[in-house]
Amino acid sequence: MIDIRLVREDPARVKAALARRGVPPEDVDAIARLDGDHRAALARQEVLRARVKALSREVRDAKRSSDTARAAVLADESRRVGEELKAAARETDRLAADLRTLVLYTPNLPSDDAPDGRGPEDNVVLRRWWPGQDEGAPEPVPSDHQRVPHWEVGSSLRILDMPSGARLAGSMFPLYRGEGARLLRALTSWALTRHADAYEEIRPPTLVLTDTMVSTGHLPKFADEAYHIERDDLWAIPTAEVPLTSMRRGEILEEADLPVRLTAVTQCFRREAGAAGRETRGLLRVHEFEKVELFAYATPAQAPAVHLDILSRAEALLRELDLPYRVVDLCAGDLGTSSARTFDLEVYAPGSDQWLEVSSVSWFGDYQARRADVRFRPADGGPPALVHTLNGSALAWPRIWAALVEWGRQPDGSVRLPGVLSPWLGSGLAIRPG
């Protein structure tokens, strides 16, 4: 949630910031109006309640002095005020609920540093990297044998079986087999080990309560994007960000313990409503996938450094995998709802001939922390303040799998995999046609 106090005190600033995302100023006015109504109603309610409490004390005193008649009169008066109070409370609750709904649907204010722009076409490519770049090697040009899309490579090597996945769960549910499945396991083990120096490994639940989904901003606005288990009212998480953000929900952390850095591998579930058709072949867009996530709770002062740490860790993994990539600074219009600033990492896949988003590294400010009510007690003894949350994939495996298989394809049709994975791949660094 955005800070309602900021809407109250500096609506112009909120309007200007949200306008960069395309939010009309009237939306901010509506929030301000409802907030004013709610506060006025609350004030009326409090006066009435104070009156009831005062009368109740007088009833008590009258009874103590055995003045039954007076006690009865006072009790009647209190009952009457109590009815008024009830009505006032209903009004306050209604306004509060309306206000909350409105605020829950309002996106975060983009960071001043995020570039201007309306959509993906306005994102800024900050830099590119490719193997050997430091030694002056030119950007690699894929050979013909690398121009085969991963779904063809996967099918002919029998390491990816999309038809079987579709038979089990429908389209866009991949089924990996043999060395293809083992490659996923290797990537996960390798990545978690690489983060273990500073990030505590977590295995969270992947089905969560509605409140947990609301805290990150995935609900109520994007209910159509998530799988929902109706009978038990649980949601399948679209990313480990969801359980990790709520791990300390409602708590006050000590500043000395910050930043709290966590890493987790989870299955991620996305309905991808409306994504049918384009760019859904093979592993480019799937309903269920595995991803290693980096996450942190930080003080506002720590947040920028943590943001860069997560970004550099995700980049380091790509470099160790020898995958050419670019860093994209998302413009205000293309930011996710909860994010204030996001860097996407995109890998080039020669067979699919596309830049594939394999990581999204975001700084959420206090937007999610306010929804999740996660605060910290400043070391200087000041009042508790909201933490900042940050996260980034490191990394999402299906598209990495695709890029590895396409770049690694040899003239003889086999696939060579990067050396860093050798401890987890056992004997074979290469997947050969069998």
Partner RNA sequence: GGAGGCGUGCGAGAGCGGCCGAAUCGGCACGAUUGGAAAUCGUGUGUGGGGCAACCCACCGUGGGUUCAAAUCCCACCGCCUCCGCCA
Q: Does 251 bind RNA (CB under 7 A)?
A: no
Residue 241 in contact with residue 295, Cβ under 8 Å?
yes
C-alpha 394/C-alpha 316 separation (Å) is 9
Q: With CB under 7 A as the contact rule, which of the stretches 57-65, 141-149, 167-175, 185-193 interacts with RNA? A: 57-65
Q: Does residue 300 have a cis peptide bond before it, meaning omega lies within 30 degrees of 0? A: no
CB of 173 to RNA, least distance (A): 24
**Backbone dihedral region for residue 272 (phi beyond 0: left; psi -120 to 50: alpha; all else: beta):** left
Q: Does 369 bind RNA (CB under 7 A)?
A: no
C-alpha 34/C-alpha 102 separation (Å) is 9
Q: Does 60 bind RNA (CB under 7 A)?
A: yes
1: which 2 tokens? 């949630």
In terms of CB distance, is 78 or 299 closer to RNA? 78
CB of 256 to RNA, least distance (A): 12
- Please pick, from the candidates 57, 118, 203, 432, the single residue that binds RNA as defined by CB under 7 A: 57
Q: With CB under 7 A as the contact rule, which of the stretches 53-61, 186-194, 313-321, 325-333 interacts with RNA? A: 53-61
Q: Does 11 bind RNA (CB under 7 A)?
A: no
CB of 38 to RNA, least distance (A): 10
C-alpha 422/C-alpha 85 separation (Å) is 71
Contacts for 268-272: CB closer than 8 Å, 24+ residues apart: 268/237, 268/238, 268/239, 268/240, 268/396, 269/206, 269/226, 269/227, 269/236, 269/237, 269/238, 270/225, 270/226, 270/238, 271/224, 271/225, 271/226, 271/227, 272/172, 272/225
Q: With CB under 7 A as the contact rule, which of the stretches 48-56, 266-274, 282-290, 359-367 interacts with RNA? A: 48-56
- Please pick, from the candidates 75, 166, 192, 308, the single residue that binds RNA as defined by CB under 7 A: 75
- Please pick, from the candidates 49, 158, 271, 416, the single residue that binds RNA as defined by CB under 7 A: 49
In terms of CB distance, is 78 or 215 closer to RNA? 78
In terms of CB distance, is 50 or 229 closer to RNA? 50
390: which 2 tokens? 């940050």
Residue 373 in contact with residue 337, Cβ under 8 Å?
no
Q: Does 63 bind RNA (CB under 7 A)?
A: yes
Q: Tell me the backbone φ, ψ of residue 173, rounded to 5 degrees.
A: -120, 100
Q: Which residues are at the interface with RNA (CB under 7 A)?
A: 5, 39, 42-43, 46, 49-50, 52-57, 59-60, 63, 75, 78-79, 82, 252, 375, 383-384
